[in-house]
């Protein structure tokens, strides 16, 4: 019985300790709730319509736009597309969100400008990286950032291929809101071009931004348009060694006609025909570089002039053959000697005029 009393006395001694701890925890929790309620940075989003811009009866809402080029992976001349990795940043002021500096909310819980890329595109939003959230800054400034990857149509002209400089335009605007409701303006601090790019065959030289009110024929209305222009220069040395130099060798191969005795005009014509077939095959191999265009590029004009010179060399073989048959061998030899310096001069003049 004594042991039972001792056990009972021990339990009685413990109860006040547990009771005191519980009361202390309740008191601490109450203080934390009170302090949180008084904290100015509490992220409690007020009730506001997400389909109504700030100050709907006031001036147009100004939206700053930043366009960052993280990487350029490919420029496809045939399909007129550019593949890359981009970051779009939008910033605007919403007075209804003042006092929430530092808070983050899902983009769908606040008003945001409905803008789109006017180029045809197949971009994919990488929300896993940026969580598709907005960040509230001082005085209700809202910043939204999203990363995109994929292909964008470029519509770049190719008249100067392969010695061309290109300006790839990315045009952003709103399909729904006109300039009386929404004005886009560049945001230089969020516009950037990465120093290291994976693109081959091109030299990216700069990124410029601008904004203006433009007429959009598809909407039959005016819109505030933000334009980011990516400047690029094609590295022409690859095409010089792959196109211009081999084509020059084919043309020079046809000049061997001028050193073959005119009595062997069958061999001369065969040599010219071989040069012509080689040049035609070379043109077919070049067809994969460019789309089917309705105009000539510099490369096309070089090929046309080379073809004309090869044809003239074959014509020379026919003329000298006729002269030899008519017992005018001296005239045939004199004609060949003149062509030995005339044809190289014609090649230089023709290609020089095309390039310059």
Q: Decide if 303 contacts 281 (C-beta within 8 A).
A: no
Q: Which helix (H) or strand (E) holds 225?
A: strand 221-234
Q: Which of 252, 269, 251 is nearest to 260 (CA)?
A: 269
Domains of the chain: 61-235 (2.70.170.10), 238-355 (1.20.58.390)
25-34, 169-178, 295-304: the lowest-pLDDT one: 25-34
Mean pLDDT of 203-228: 94
Give the DSSP letter of residue 223.
E
pTM: 0.76
Model confidence at 24, pLDDT cuts 50, 70, 90, reads low
Is the pLDDT assigned to residue 54 strictly greater than 50? Answer: yes
* Mean pLDDT, residues 74-81: 89
Q: Are 297 and 283 in contact (CB under 8 A)?
A: no
Q: Please name which of 253, 251, 186 lies closest in space to residue 225, comparing C-alpha atoms.
A: 186
DSSP character string of 177-210: --TTTEEEEE-GGG-EE-S----SSEEEEEEEEE
Q: What is the edge-to-edge ordering of all strands in the sheet holding 221-234?
A: 115-117, 165-174, 221-234, 202-216
Q: Which of the four pLDDT bands, split at 50, 70 and 90, describes residue 282?
A: confident
Distances (CA, A) of 47 to 20, 57, 96, 137, 239: 42, 19, 9, 19, 62
CB 191 within 8 Å of CB 228: yes
């Amino acid at each position: 019985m004594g042991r039972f009393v001792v056990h009972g006395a021990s339990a009685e001694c413990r109860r006040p300790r547990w009771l005191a701890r519980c009361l202390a925890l309740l008191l601490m929790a109450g203080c934390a709730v009170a302090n949180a309620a008084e904290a100015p940075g509490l992220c409690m989003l007020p009730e506001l319509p997400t389909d109504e811009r700030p100050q709907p009866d006031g001036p147009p809402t100004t939206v700053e736009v930043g366009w960052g080029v993280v990487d350029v992976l490919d420029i496809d001349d045939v399909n007129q597309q550019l593949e890359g990795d981009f970051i779009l940043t939008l910033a605007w002021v919403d007075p209804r969100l003042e006092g929430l500096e530092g808070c983050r909310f899902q983009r769908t819980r606040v008003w945001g400008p409905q803008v789109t890329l006017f180029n045809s595109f197949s971009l994919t939003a990488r929300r896993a990286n940026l969580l598709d959230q907005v960040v509230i800054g001082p005085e209700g400034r809202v910043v939204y950032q999203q990363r995109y990857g994929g292909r964008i149509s470029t519509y770049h002209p190719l008249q100067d291929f392969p010695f061309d400089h290109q300006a790839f335009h990315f045009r952003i605007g709103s399909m729904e809101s006109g300039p009386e409701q929404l004005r886009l303006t560049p945001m230089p601090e969020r516009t950037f071009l990465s120093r290291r790019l994976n693109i081959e065959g091109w030299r990216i030289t700069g990124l410029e931004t601008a904004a203006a009110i433009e007429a959009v024929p598809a909407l039959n209305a005016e819109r505030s348009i933000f334009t980011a222009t990516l400047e690029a220069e094609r590295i022409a040395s690859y095409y010089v060694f792959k196109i211009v130099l081999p084509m020059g060798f084919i043309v020079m191969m046809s000049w061997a006609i001028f050193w073959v005795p005119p009595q062997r005009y069958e061999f001369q014509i065969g040599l010219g025909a071989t040069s012509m077939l080689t040049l035609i095959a070379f043109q077919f191999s070049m067809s994969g570089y460019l789309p089917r265009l309705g105009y000539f590029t510099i490369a096309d004009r070089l090929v046309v002039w080379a073809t004309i010179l090869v044809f003239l060399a074959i014509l020379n073989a026919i003329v000298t053959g006729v002269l030899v048959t008519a017992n005018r061998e001296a005239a045939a030899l004199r004609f060949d000697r003149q062509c030995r310096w005339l044809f190289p001069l014609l090649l230089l003049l023709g290609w020089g005029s095309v390039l310059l």
